[in-house]
Amino acid sequence: MQIPIAHRGLYDNKTIPENSLAAFQKSIEKGYPIELDLRLMKDNNIAVFHDNNLYRMTGAKGHIHKMNKQNLSSLRLLGTEEKIPLFEEMLELVAGKVPLIIELKSRLLPGIFEETLLKVLRNYNRLYAIESFNPLTVLWFKLNAPEITRGMLSRSVYRAILYTSFIPVDFLAVNIRHLPKKILWKKNKPIIGYTAKSKEEMTEAGRICDNIIFEKFLP
Q: Give the pLDDT confidence of 185-211 residue by residue, as tens digits.
A: 778 899 999 999 999 999 999 999 999
Contact between residue 192 and residue 210 where contact means Cβ atoms under 8 Å apart: yes
| Average per-residue pLDDT for the chain | 95
Overall average pLDDT of the 39-53 stretch: 97
Q: What's the pTM?
A: 0.96
Among the residues of the chain, which ranges form H helices?
21-30, 55-58, 69-72, 87-94, 112-121, 135-144, 157-164, 199-205
pLDDT bucket at 107, cuts 50 / 70 / 90 = confident
pLDDT at 188: 87
pLDDT at 48: 98
pLDDT bucket at 73, cuts 50 / 70 / 90 = confident
Buried b (16+ CB within 10 A) or exposed e, 63-82: ebeebeeebbeebbbbeeeb
pLDDT at 171: 96
pLDDT above 90: residue 94: yes
**In this structure, CATH architecture of domain 5-154:** Alpha-Beta Barrel (3.20)
* CA dist., res. 107 & res. 115, Å (int): 13
pLDDT at 181: 86
Alpha-carbon distances of 95 from 87, 99, 126, 180, rounded to whole Å: 12, 9, 7, 37
pLDDT at 130: 98
Contact between residue 49 and residue 84 where contact means Cβ atoms under 8 Å apart: yes
pLDDT above 90: residue 182: no
